[in-house]
Structure 1
Amino acid sequence: MSALGCNIHGTAIVLGTTGFLITGPSGSGKSALALSCLSEVRRRGRFAALVADDRVDLTLENDRIVARCPASIRGLIEVRGSGIAEIETISACILDWAIMPVRSPFNPRLPPESDELQLEIGRSLPLLRVPVESLVSPLDALRALLPEKLVL
């Protein structure tokens, strides 16, 4: 990618009208968190779509961070332990937030205030840490953390 773009390890989704970049090391639950949120939002009759899983192309356009999927993996998502699945996708989205899946025990218990994910394109996204494998569904956690911004 050019100086105005980069390719990163992550997953990009849209829930309603909000774009999320799910980040974290391999095996942290990015794809599972994405599938959980996509399925739950769709069950509620709302719009939700995958943009990219595993690799995400990022560019700056009109001062917004745009996510796209590399052509070689378009429409594919990993179901860890089961294989690669085909899923309906959209071609691009504007990213509003970054999500990092976290597992218990949570250390630190509370994230730093104004936590951000620094991106290689010279910008950052506000970062939310969302519990996975807990009694709270990832979507319920997101709705609690973003009550005014995530209307589903």
Structure 2
Amino acid sequence: MSATSCNIHATAMVLGTTGFLITGPSGSGKSALALACIYEVRRRGRFAALVADDRVDLSLENDRIVARCPAAIRGLIEVRGSGIAEVETISACVLEGAIMPSRPPFDPRLPPEQEELPLQIGRSLPLLRLPVEGPLSPVDALVALLPEKLGL
């Protein structure tokens, strides 16, 4: 049996109209990836916002996975090595996918097919491993991999 809500270690953001959950171990670059994606999408003239950094409240509502920020950390994001920054956020989003930062050559060249991130609420999200170092920007990689969701 699973709960209909939980709090997890992750970051949540919206790019355009698509909600993403960024997952991975502490220090893997979740916050940096979120900031890079949000600001690049905004530079391209599209909507992008942070929902929550470090801790995300997840709930299952009308068969959709909804992400919210715990009140104590609303509007805050960690800039590793520099401190905590205040950023504009939105209160919630419907999640359509999960992203895991990937660092070649340390991570596998190709991910498992149709990989999913299981969640404690009894559902899962399609998981995309996204390179965070190298010549390709994370947003360009997302556009190449998910053109129908981002349309940038």
The one-letter amino acid of 2:25's match is P
Query: Which structure 2 residues correspond to residues 68-87 of structure 1 after superposition, within 5 A?
Result: 68-87=68-87
Instruction: List alignment gaps of at least 5 residues for structure 1.
Output: none
**SS state of the match for residue 95, structure 1?**
strand
Separation of aligned partners in 1, 2:54 and 2:14: 15
For the pair 1:10 / 2:3, whether they are aligned, the reply is no
Aligned match of 2:21: 21
For the pair 1:134 / 2:126, whether they are aligned, the reply is no
Aligned match of 1:103: 103
TM-score by length of 1: 0.97
Separation of aligned partners in 2, 1:132 and 1:114: 20
Q: Is the 8 A contact 2:14 2:50 kept in 1?
A: yes
The ranges of structure 1 where at least 4 consecutive aligned residues each deviate by more than 4 angstroms after the TM superposition are none
Q: Is the 8 A contact 2:115 2:126 kept in 1?
A: yes
Aligned match of 1:30: 30
**SS state of the match for residue 35, structure 1?**
helix
**SS state of the match for residue 56, structure 1?**
strand
Aligned match of 2:57: 57
1:5 is displaced (CA, Å) by: 0.2
**SS state of the match for residue 60, structure 2?**
strand
**SS state of the match for residue 65, structure 1?**
strand
**Percent identity among equivalent residues?**
82
Separation of aligned partners in 2, 1:107 and 1:12: 22
The one-letter amino acid of 1:15's match is L
How much is the aligned-residue C-alpha RMSD, in angstroms? 1.0
How many pairs align?
Answer: 151
Separation of aligned partners in 1, 2:140 and 2:106: 18
Deviations 1:33-86 (A, max 9, x none): 000000001111110000000000000000000000000000000000000000
TM-score by length of 2: 0.97
Instruction: List alignment gaps of at least 5 residues for structure 2.
Output: none
1:106 is displaced (CA, Å) by: 4.3
The one-letter amino acid of 1:96's match is E
**SS state of the match for residue 96, structure 1?**
strand
The one-letter amino acid of 1:142's match is L
